Amino acid sequence: MNKVTVLGAGSWGTSLAIVLAENGHDCLLWSHREDQANEINNQHTNAKYLPSVELSKVLKSTHVLADAVAHADVIVMAVPTKGIRETCQKMMETLDRKMLFVHVSKGIEPDSLLRISEIMREELDEAFIEDIVVLSGPSHAEEVVLQHPTTVAAACENLASAERVQDLFMNQYFRVYTNQDVIGVEMGGALKNVIALAAGVTDGLGFGDNAKAALITRGLAEMSRLGVKMGAQPLTFAGLTGMGDLIVTCTSVHSRNWRAGNMLGKGMTLQEVLDQMGMVVEGVRTTKAAHQLAEKYDVTMPIASALYEVLFDEQNASDGVGKLMQRMKKHEMAGLFE
Ligand SMILES: NC(=O)C1=CN([C@@H]2O[C@H](COP(=O)(O)OP(=O)(O)OC[C@H]3O[C@@H](n4cnc5c(N)ncnc54)[C@H](OP(=O)(O)O)[C@@H]3O)[C@@H](O)[C@H]2O)C=CC1
Ligand SMILES: O=C(CO)COP(=O)(O)O
């Protein structure tokens, strides 16, 4: 049994806390809201983020970060990308020993262009970091709580740390593979949200499966082009955290990114969409970051660029699709192989 704290009581943090508690670990879930921590402890529900789910009674919650940190040998970071830096800064006020950190968030910080593990290393004192392991893959919270078969990867350069996280989470419905390509796994998880937003847009515009298949495969090509330039292994993008997560996010009504894109395609403004979602849509900020990364690394990312114009430059979504289709003719493998 391990003592594990999950930071962030949204849909993913809560689902993973359930997995950990069911696996027999002493799991504490931190919410930054006192009323939500009380609801989890007293009603055993998290109505906003996992409606109609009865949480395990052994799962405890706190809103006091110092207590959450004091509890743990392992800390799982499950706050949205925009909250990672601030949560690490608050943790630094209370951390007093080395910990194994796991992060499960899928984003890139605009402007700094840092991946999550890089933000964590910037904010947390190296003396307190045993290792940082990324847990990522095709895994909607709504299906994990129903114990539907799910596969993910635990990635860390140090294989022993990845294997420790594999052992923490793995059970009969949650299968964890190890991987040592941290850049590839983080970039796949973040960039698939951009493509899923675009897939939602084409569905919202009324296009069909051909357009969806085009976005998934050409999306994978531009994700791989950028990731490889940043140091990722090309094959990682063909795995769970690349193609696997693209499929699940681009084709599922559970995906917040797909749903947000769908509303955009139907004509709503970005602000109207975000107001209606009430949950994190990571792909919006990551589209900005991807646009900046494409410039920095001189990589062609037509889908991310078209989406950037729709989100931030008032480009009409239908015209955006037209522009993508009328790009100069190309070799299918351009930019992937010499
Ligand atoms: N949902 C899923 O199926 C999966 C999600 N992920 C990733 O997990 C991460 C978290 O997503 P998810 O749980 O779905 O998001 P949700 O929108 O469901 O929940 C986000 C949670 O984080 C809290 N929060 C927001 N900002 C902060 C902050 N600054 N400090 C502390 N807590 C904060 C929110 O609180 P409040 O209510 O106050 O806003 C809420 O409890 C994302 O990066 C996502 O891509 C990965 C795999 C699957
Ligand atoms: O990452 C996810 C599934 O693997 C969740 O995707 P959304 O954030 O789009 O819901």
Q: Is 139 annotated as a binding residue?
A: yes
Distance CA 252, CA 84 (A): 26
Cα separations in angstroms, 126 against 4, 9, 68, 98, 257: 20, 26, 20, 9, 34
Place of tokens 């006020």: 93
Q: Which helix (H) or strand (E) segment is 20 a member of?
A: helix 11-22
Taking the CA of 108 as reference, the closest ligand is 1
CATH of 186-325, one of 3.60.20.10, 3.40.50.970, 1.10.3720.10, 1.10.1040.10: 1.10.1040.10
Q: Is 52 annotated as a binding residue?
A: no
pLDDT of residue 334: 86
pLDDT of residue 338: 62
Architecture of domain 3-180 in CATH? Answer: 3-Layer(aba) Sandwich (3.40)
- Listed as ranges, residues in the chain with pLDDT below 50 are none
192 classed as catalytic: yes
pLDDT of residue 139: 98
Specify the domain boundaries for CATH 1.10.1040.10 within the chain.
Answer: 186-325
Nearest CA to ligand 2 atom 8: 256
- Best CA proximity match to 332, nearest among 198, 217, 240: 217
- State if residue 248 touches ligand 2 by the CB under 6 angstroms criterion: yes
- Cβ–Cβ < 8 Å for 240, 153: yes
Which DSSP state fits 277?
A: H
Catalytic residue among 3, 48, 98, 192: 192
pLDDT of residue 89: 98
Q: Is 121 annotated as a binding residue?
A: no
Centroid of ligand 2 to alpha carbon of 239 (angstroms): 16
Specify the domain boundaries for CATH 3.40.50.720 within the chain.
Answer: 3-180
pLDDT of residue 336: 73
Atom of ligand 2 nearest to the CA of 192: 1
Q: Does the pTM of the predicted model rise above 0.80?
A: yes
